[in-house]
Amino acid sequence: MRKLALSDEILLSVEKPARYIGGEINMQRKDPKAVDIRFCMCFPDVYEIGMSHLGIQILYDILNRREDTYCERVYSPWVDLDKLMREQNIPLFALESQDPVKDFDFLGITLQYEMCYTNILQILELSGIPIYSKDRTDEDPIVIGGGPCSYNPEPIADFFDFFYIGEGETAYNDILDLYKECKKSGKSRREFLELVAGIEGMYVPALYDVEYNDDNTIKSIAKNNDLAPDKVKKQAEMNLSEAFYPTNPIVPYLQVTQDRVVLEIQRGCIRGCRFCQAGMIYRPTRERDIDYLKKCAYEMLKSTGHEEISLSSLSSSDYSNLEELVYFLIDEFGSKGINISLPSLRIDAFSLDVMSKVQDVRKSSLTFAPEAGSQRLRDVINKGLSEEEILSGATAAFNSGWNRVKLYFMMGLPTETEEDIEGIAILTDKIAREYYDIPKEQRQGKVSVVASTSFFVPKPFTPFQWCRMDTPKEYLEKQKYLRSKINEQLNRKSIKYNWHEAELSELEGVLARGDRRLSKVIYDAYKSGCLYDSWGEHFNYEKWLKAFEDNHISMEFYNSRERKEDEIFPWDFIDVGVSKAFLLREYKRAKDVKVTPNCRELCYNCGAKSFGGGVCFLAEGGN
């Protein structure tokens, strides 16, 4: 029987002790002494968030299929346990064996959101691992970063030994085989890192130097070791139906954010929205075979006992076999009380038909994401959605019995005007009007329309990576203006308005497009008490401002200026397939309010064809 790392006294004194005891259904059990490699997979946020992440489940399954490797998990301790661990010198531990993380060979940290960066330092410090990679010895775990934020790893480069750029199915076996060879032959940590840089997709920051111009822009990014590549090429799994997929996912003992079976139906997106990083870095679009998905659905529901299955994709409506798959799931599992969740759907007749079969219409709400209030601005961002489509979708939903709608918009988009902002209020009111055009006897009570605005954050590897970003003051002025325009609408009593925190978005913008000089800012903010920054109640803007001030670094430099076309970006050494020339071309098309067709309509030569598969070779002209 496992001995728990925390005493009963501590477990009973913290919120949700089940976060820390492991032992969940389908948890892997191996003898740590019987394996050659111990790998601890980390999600730097609270257990409920981390357990909902599909990528961790996939990697956990891949690594534990190896007889010579035991992959375990660790998540950020919540603030109550964090305090106790520091007071009582309790080292951070993995859930499976309850052994200290410091005893492992690898610590792999997934980087999903910039506002989790201080939690990375929490993980390292509580584990007793030196925070800066330069201070680690052969006795410390190798610290790896991966996930979407690794596409600009520079703000946190000093804390990691190397980054895995791309999808985890392709190269982890090569990495672990190399590690075993190096261990057997007595090679040092440095020698292993030099050799791992030779595996495609691996970025070892210590093997590169960055020079800056007098104006603080980057002068050059150059390797200082011949074993490092000039460009680090993203890894992409091109045959998803033969790749690893976790059909026995871990089932937690407490409710988590995504408390359901997750079935990933495809990767990538054909749409080409110019603000969307995921839509660019996960190109090309690749689908899983429908028979493979049916098989996975059976196995996952059987192995977990979950009562809901969610189809995961950036744009589920674009999966070519969606209709067949959804009706199969309804026919096979609907009568057994299994709910089917369909995020990322475009609201059309098929979607409404499906949702009426799998949801209680009277209790649920429909979600639309127009992103911008005016057609002009939707064309700027290449949303590919007309006002007519939005209104007809809402009308069809109301006629089918729905009376609650959620609308998602962004403010601060490039070229935005007051007219575009007012358009959010007008479009929201038009949707409410569609409901009241239905005869009174056919309505389901009053309509509820919730309009939410987030603040646009330019991200690397998007056409908007050159853009300036609004300041918090500008954002708040726009939010106030929009609120006043909503209050002028005929159906204002049916409209609720929510908005995102401006200061949080400002910091996200800096960290998203920042360089290596930010590592000291992040370190100082963490040491001053910043933790769980993505949680509103814990975000401390003043402490972050002081960390920037103490390091003589300006947030305005990173956010409040338009980049020159030929500026070297901190992430320019990474090759994601999508070329910088294509992104710049798209930025110019945005300024000219020109729409680019989706990938199935026309190949626009973004560069993703270099991966040799996916939608690129199915689209017209993609050969």
Residues 406-434 pLDDT 10s: 999 999 999 999 999 999 999 999 999 99
- Contact residues for 155 (Cβ-Cβ < 8 A; gap 6+): 114, 117, 511, 514, 515, 516, 518, 519, 522
Mean pLDDT of 364-389: 93
Residue 396, helix vs strand vs coil: helix
pLDDT digits (tens, 9 = 90+) for 240-259: 999 989 999 999 999 888 88
* 455-469 average pLDDT score: 98
Two tokens at 614? 């996916």
Give me the amino acid identity at 243: A
Average pLDDT along the chain = 95
Domains within the chain, CATH numbers bracketed: 8-233 (3.40.50.280), 360-500 (3.30.750.200)
Residue 360: predicted pLDDT: 66
pLDDT at 442 > cutoff 50: yes
pLDDT at 5: 97
pLDDT tier at 623, thresholds 50, 70, 90 = very low
CA distance 116 to 111: 8
Please count the helices (runs of H) and the strands (runs of E) in the chain: 20, 19
Alpha-carbon distance 604 to 274, whole Å?
14
Distance CA 226, CA 402 (A): 62
Q: What's the whole-model pTM score?
A: 0.96
Q: Does residue 558 surpass a pLDDT of 90?
A: yes
What distance, in Å, lies between the first and last C-alpha atoms of the chain? Answer: 58
* Alpha-carbon span 37 to 63, nearest angstrom: 10
- CA angle 309/21/89 to nearest 5° reads 135
Q: Is the pLDDT of residue 622 over 50?
A: no
Instruction: Give how far the C-alpha of residue 431 lies from the chain's centroid of Cα atoms, to the nearest Å.
Output: 30
Question: Is residue 525 predicted with pLDDT exceeding 50?
Answer: yes
Per-residue pLDDT reduced to its tens digit, 482-509: 999 999 999 999 999 999 889 999 999 9
Residue 348 carries which DSSP code?
A: S
Q: Which long-range contacts (CB under 8 A, 24 or more apart) does 431-437 make?
A: 431/368, 431/390, 431/391, 431/394, 431/405, 431/407, 432/489, 432/491, 432/494, 432/495, 433/490, 433/491, 434/391, 434/394, 434/395, 434/398, 435/394, 435/398, 435/403, 435/494, 436/491, 437/395
Query: Would you place residue 362 in the very low, low, confident or very high pLDDT band (cuts 50, 70, 90)?
Result: low
Hunting for tokens 């998007």 — which residue is that?
Answer: 462
User: Using 50, 70 and 90 to split pLDDT, how confident is the model at 400?
Assistant: confident
pLDDT band of residue 361 (cuts 50, 70, 90) is low
User: How large is the average pLDDT for residues 522-527?
Assistant: 98
What CA–CA distance (Å, rounded) separates 212 from 228? 21
Would strands 266-267 and 142-146 be described as parallel, antiparallel, or unpaired? unpaired
φ/ψ of 295, rounded to 5, equals -65, -45
Instruction: Report the relative pairing of strands 339-341 and 106-110 from DSSP bridges.
Output: unpaired
The residues, any chain, with a CB within 8 Å of residue 183's CB and separated by 6 or more, are: 36
- Model confidence at 50, in pLDDT bands (50, 70, 90)? very high
Looking at the DSSP assignment, which residues form a beta bridge with residue 498?
452
Q: Is the alpha carbon torsion for 173, 175, 179, 185 positive or negative?
A: positive
By residue count, the chain amounts to 623
Beta-bridge partner residues of 255: none
pLDDT at position 207 over 60: yes
Instruction: Give the per-residue pLDDT at 1.
Output: 61
Tell me what percent of the residues of the chain surpass a pLDDT of 90.
88
pLDDT in tens, 120-173: 999 999 999 999 999 999 999 999 999 999 999 999 999 999 999 999 999 999
